[in-house]
């Protein structure tokens, strides 16, 4: 079996594929941003964002105040200009 065939078979058995569509030209700017911020690949960047968001969603309850103050359940207070 060729390496590429093995890699494809391994990926098929061990990973799910999610297709994300972005406006034409945006992919390269996202990829450059990810690389500039130390990610090995666009895939690693996207997976990290998903993992962080899901983890934050499980552990944090945010209360939004009409003045833009966001209070998290871990005691942090963030000021935003929403």
* pTM, rounded to two decimals: 0.61
CA distance 40 to 36: 10
CA distance 17 to 43: 11
Task: Enter the tokens of residue 30.
Answer: 């996202």
Q: What is the pLDDT of residues 64-74, one digit of tens each?
A: 555 666 556 55
Q: What is the pLDDT of residues 18-40, one digit of tens each?
A: 999 999 999 999 999 999 999 99
Position 42 pLDDT exceeds 70: yes
CA distance 41 to 11: 16
């Amino acid at each position: 079996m060729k390496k590429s065939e093995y890699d494809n078979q391994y990926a098929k058995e061990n990973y799910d594929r999610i297709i994300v569509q972005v406006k034409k030209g945006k992919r390269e700017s996202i990829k450059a941003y990810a690389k500039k911020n130390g990610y090995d690949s666009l895939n690693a960047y996207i997976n990290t964002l998903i993992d962080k968001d899901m983890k934050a969603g499980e552990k944090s309850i945010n209360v939004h105040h009409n003045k833009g103050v966001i209070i998290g359940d871990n005691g942090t207070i963030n000021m935003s200009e929403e």
